[in-house]
Chain A
Amino acid sequence: MLPALCSPMRSAHESDVIAEGFTLLAAQLPLNATDRELYRFRFRIALSGVAVLAAFIVLIVRFVHLQVFQHAYYTTRAEDNRISLVPIVPNRGVIVDRNGTVLARNYSAFTLEITPSKVADLEATIEGLGKVIEVLPKDRKRFRRLLEESRNFESLPIRTRLSEEEVARFAANRYLFPGVEVKARLFRQYPLGPVAAHAIGYINRINKRDLEIIEENEQTANYKGTDHIGKTGLEQKYEYQLHGETGYEQVEIDAGGRAIRSLSRTAPVQGNNLTLTLDVKLQEMAEQAFGDRRGALVAIEPSSGGILALVSTPSFDPNLFVDGIRNDDWELLNNSPDKPMLNRALNGAYPPGSTFKPFMAMAALETGKRTPGQTIFDPGVFNFGGHQFRDDKKGGHGSVDMYKSIVQSCDTYYYMLANDMGIDSIARFMGQLGFGQRTGVDIEGESEGVLPSPEWKKRRFKRPEQQKWFAGETISIGIGQGYNAYTPIQLAQATATIANNGVMFRPHLVKYITDSRSGEQTMIEPEPLRILPWKRQNVDTIKKAMIGVNTAGTAARAFAGAGYISAGKTGTAQVFSLKGAEYRSSSVKKELRDHALFIAFAPADQPKIALAVLVENGGFGAQSAAPIARMVFDYYLLGKLPKGAAREDDVEED
């Protein structure tokens, strides 16, 4: 090998291959180089030429591949590069009450926003911003929290509600803060603050859980650019009506992401407006009537199921949530023993106490267990299975018929009735009236309550000895105690059903939805949920007795001198502590007082309003709950405004 390499390369067989053209040129060459040397050189030059040609062909093939065969693909890529779809968030629909009073609206304000993915050093940027515009520690705290729960690439507010001057000051220093910009945003505002907050609910920033729901509902595209979503109440339930359709602007951008020009624009469609059945004046008045007492009130229009007032006190200010609630505000709301965030009207389950009696009486008439005139003798006690069930009135009510049993709220009558009817029969009838079931009101998260029955007990308890239903347990069911636990809205719905002669509606808050594009109004069902086949005379018997309660019975004092005829029933429920609630020992005494209840409707012959009132630890129903009902009726039927919060009357027990 080596000798071959060392010898000059003249042996070359390559010379044979040289193109003929070169021989001509060769003839002109000087003689100092041998022909063979020259041939070798020219062969290599020719070879190089072939290689060059091949290389250029490779390039051309590549260009044809890219520019002809993959042209469409790369055109799309280039368009994707330069065109950015910028979502335009639609205005959220407004919410008004039945008289057009605005309950939720939008206002525009400037926010200072940081896009974390475009900022190298967040801390330094925020520090620097603080020198230009006031950034309070609470703003930083909120920003950090938003950062933790944020979606990728979105911009987050470090400051909201900038003044014009602050906007100008930032604009002058803008170049110092890449990734920071001032944005004009629409904010949600609840002009009445805490009034009807539990009904309206609130919006808050979208979190991961909300995103999943949006995805499930295939709304992801429509929520590009949207930061807020309804979290509770109507804002949550009617989210997709209120939200509207996101518009898009096609913007040409450069490699740095700067917008160069707008190419096309699809306008957003504003969200639909909600008009409620709620009368916010009535609502406000009712809330005031509670004063600082905890409780709930649900007032329904019996002929439609439309909710006129939905009170849960204490309330909260939904405006606190819109920008992302501050930690200390949240602590305050969350840790208060009064539980302002709990919607008592829908989520509080209370024993109905004596307000259960008219429904029991209705059941007795419909099942034929009693006639109106049939009397029992009440000695003040009912003995069953070696156990004494006491009547509230010592010595008893004597001879009691159905009318008297309701007007005077006789317990013994209902101990006996419950015993005669049996638990299955009671549960069947009460189930028909909606007790122990969600009413289907247009707010999420309603509680079921407890309609006691042997089946319920089997489901509720695990140990076999606890699962058995004892006949003695039926007795106290008759007076609304025992396992009974219903939400105020269930009680209001049942009352409205009596008032409406057995025609039952689903309680609802939204009267109609106004389409923002066509202006078309979509009514929300005044379709009856079900029509109970009650005999008219039976309903009239019960109504007559309930009128008696308000004229000559336990609530007579509260309704003295009313300019209309109303029907009602007082009730007092032994305290069941609210589920999960832990009351502080210092306030135990008050918390052990009974809950006061009152159900009523008016005018008795043509009911326009039916309601259920609950005052937690309010004592007797006649004492604290009935006066609230009186004020609500006075206002709704006569337009009379009360002087102040309902005072607690001294009245007889119910």
Chain B
Amino acid sequence: MLPPLLHRVWVRLVEHLDGPLLLITALIMATGLATVYSATYDASNRLLAQTVNMAVGFCAMWLVAQLPPQKLMGFGVPLYVLGVILLICVFFFGVKVNGARRWLSLGFTRIQPSEVLKIAVPLMLAWYFHKHEAVLRFRHYLFACLLLLIPFALIAKQPDLGTAILVGAAGFYVIFLAGLPWQVIIGLFATAAAAAPFVWTMLHDYQRKRILTLIDPTSDPLGAGYHIIQSTIAIGSGGTFGKGWLEGTQTHLEFIPERHTDFIFAVFSEERGLLGNSILVLLYFLLVARGLMIAANASTLFARVMAGSVTLSLFTYVFVNMGMVSGILPVVGVPLPFMSYGGTALVTLSIGIGILMSIQTHRMLVRK
């Protein structure tokens, strides 16, 4: 069929790709492209830019998938250390935008170091647990928590609640999957519940306002509640089958804020209705299920907890975003994986998928 050379190239290309993951990711991305087009075509069309983002994402995914888990593990410490140093730089020299210090100016461009930590933290923690696999003691969990807490605190301080939650979740999943005792987990949750009132007093005003308006969005219909009210209207008015692609009035009359980024799900939901939502949720569920399956089959502790953490992080993105847009969670800046416009998150998530593929496809090699 194929000439031998081409065949060998093809084999090399797909060797470390995972079919189900690739298929589901591609389907979600295609849906995302169509939705980004609908959300942006009447003003500044972002279709091409997002296509480029996706191409870059696929490249990153492929590249990462080629690296065996042992190599990936090697990135843990340097990436983590670099990330934390950058976060400290942000803390001191960061550029302030809209009252939050999240960016670091490099002169020619600006970077957001917290993004690195989304991968670096689970890598670091997974490496740490892997290294102490044979002798895991309570103090190891304690130290892992400390490793997590440093970047988490730095990001929350910026403040960037969305990223802090995602980084925190990624780290927590590693610790949890590495066998954190249930007693501690329960104890932690109990402590968290007890500490909630104190945390409340430490939150920034706008964060408090977001939580308050979540409970009653109508209390501030023109301010913080506006986002939630308009996205809920968009979803509700979409009905069972949606208003049709490019037909959403909430979208095209610009009532949905951030409609091509964080609130893209409102656009999709308005135009595709309950049917579209169900299919999309199913796709995400399949993606997560595949990820968990890879985790369950992984051959080393590092691979297992890393795959689990990446998968559950992805789920966290989806749940927090959809929950926010449909008004059951507070408004935190979390994009919808492979749907929302924007290169950074797309590449980060693609790397995550690449890690899963690497773990899955290098499993046999390890065994050999």
Q: Which residues of A contact B (CB under 8 A)?
A: 1, 4-6, 8-9, 22, 25, 29-30, 33, 37, 40-42, 44-46, 48-49, 52-53, 55-56, 58-60, 62-64, 66-68, 70-71, 73-75, 77-78, 81-82, 252-256, 260
Contact = CB atoms under 8 A, between A and B. Distances in A.
A231 B290 CA distance: 78
B278 A60 contact: yes
Contact of B319 (A40, A44, A59, A260): A59
Interface string B250-263: 10011100000000
A63 B177 CA distance: 31
A81 B232 contact: no
Given A45-B292, A255-B253, A8 B233 contact: no
B255 A255 contact: yes
A48 B367 CA distance: 26
Interface in B223-260: 230, 232-240, 249-250, 253-255
A41 B323 CA distance: 28
Given A52-B315, A53-B285, A256-B254, A22 B296 contact: yes
Contacts of B237: 71, 74-75, 77-78
A1 B232 contact: no
A73 B236 contact: yes
B289 interface: yes
Contacts of A58: 328
B289 A29 contact: no
B235 A66 contact: yes
Contact of A75 (B137, B183, B239, B315): B239
Given A67-B269, A78-B236, A255-B255, 20 more contacts: A5-B138, A6-B137, A8-B137, A25-B296, A33-B133, A48-B173, A49-B292, A62-B326, A63-B269, A63-B274, A64-B274, A67-B235, A67-B238, A67-B274, A70-B236, A71-B236, A71-B240, A73-B236, A81-B230, A260-B253
A81 B182 CA distance: 50
B136 A8 contact: yes
16 contacts: A5-B138, A30-B299, A41-B179, A41-B308, A42-B296, A45-B177, A49-B289, A52-B285, A56-B319, A59-B323, A67-B235, A67-B238, A70-B236, A77-B236, A82-B250, A254-B254
Q: Nearest 4 A-B pairs (CB), nearest first?
A: A74-B236, A78-B237, A254-B253, A66-B236
Interface in B275-311: 277-278, 281, 284-285, 288-289, 292, 295-297, 299, 301, 304-305, 308
Contacts, number: 145
A82 B301 contact: no
Contacts of B284: 56
Contacts of A253: 253
B236 A75 contact: yes
Contact of B273 (A40, A67, A78): A67
Given A48-B308, A55-B319, A63-B277, A74 B233 contact: yes
Nearest to B242: A67
Interface in B123-182: 133, 136-138, 173, 176-177, 179, 181-182
B179 A9 contact: yes
A56 B316 CA distance: 11
A30 B315 CA distance: 29
Contacts of B255: 78, 81-82, 254-255
B184 interface: yes
Nearest to B285: A56
A25 B250 CA distance: 49
Given A30-B299, A45-B177, A254-B253, A63 B235 contact: yes
B181 A9 contact: yes
Interface of B: 133, 136-138, 173, 176-177, 179, 181-184, 230, 232-240, 249-250, 253-255, 269, 273-274, 277-278, 281, 284-285, 288-289, 292, 295-297, 299, 301, 304-305, 308, 312, 315, 319, 322-323, 326-328, 366-367
A58 B319 CA distance: 10
Contacts of B133: 33
Contacts of A62: 323, 326-328
A46 B177 CA distance: 11
B328 A1 contact: no
B328 A33 contact: no
Contacts of B292: 45, 48-49, 52
A55 B277 contact: no
A59 B240 contact: no
A56 B314 CA distance: 13
A527 B331 CA distance: 73
A63 B233 contact: no
Most A CB within 10 A of own CB, among B181, B183, B237: B237
Contacts of B278: 60, 63
A60 B281 contact: yes
Contacts of A82: 249-250, 253, 255
A78 B233 contact: yes
B311 to A, nearest CB: 8
A82 B176 CA distance: 48
B277 A252 contact: no
B249 A25 contact: no
Contacts of B250: 78, 81-82
A40 B239 contact: no
Contacts of B322: 59
B315 A252 contact: no
A339 B341 CA distance: 73
A82 B292 CA distance: 44
B307 to A, nearest CB: 9
A260 B249 CA distance: 12
Nearest to A29: B299
A74 B232 contact: yes
A596 B181 CA distance: 112
Nearest to A253: B253
Contacts of A81: 230, 233, 249-250, 253, 255
Most buried by B among A29, A48, A60, A255: A48
Contact of B315 (A46, A55, A71): A55
B137 to A, nearest CB: 6
Given A30-B299, A48-B292, A49-B292, A67 B177 contact: no
B308 A33 contact: no
Interface centre among A30, A44, A256 (most CB of B within 10 A): A44
Contacts of A8: 136-137, 179
A77 B297 CA distance: 49
A644 to B, nearest CB: 67
A4 B183 contact: yes
Contact of A67 (B236, B304, B308): B236
Nearest to A66: B236
A5 B140 CA distance: 12
A70 B232 CA distance: 10
Contacts of B183: 1, 4-5
A30 B181 CA distance: 24
B42 to A, nearest CB: 10
A55 B295 CA distance: 20
Contacts of B269: 63, 67
B305 to A, nearest CB: 8
A73 to B, nearest CB: 7
Nearest to A3: B138
Contacts of B367: 30
A73 B238 CA distance: 11
Nearest to A41: B304
Contact of A45 (B253, B277, B308, B366): B308
A12 to B, nearest CB: 9
Nearest to A32: B300
B251 to A, nearest CB: 10
A42 B366 CA distance: 20
Nearest to A59: B322
Contacts of A77: 233, 236-237
Contacts of B239: 67-68, 71, 75
A253 B250 CA distance: 11
Nearest to A252: B253
Contacts of A30: 299, 366-367
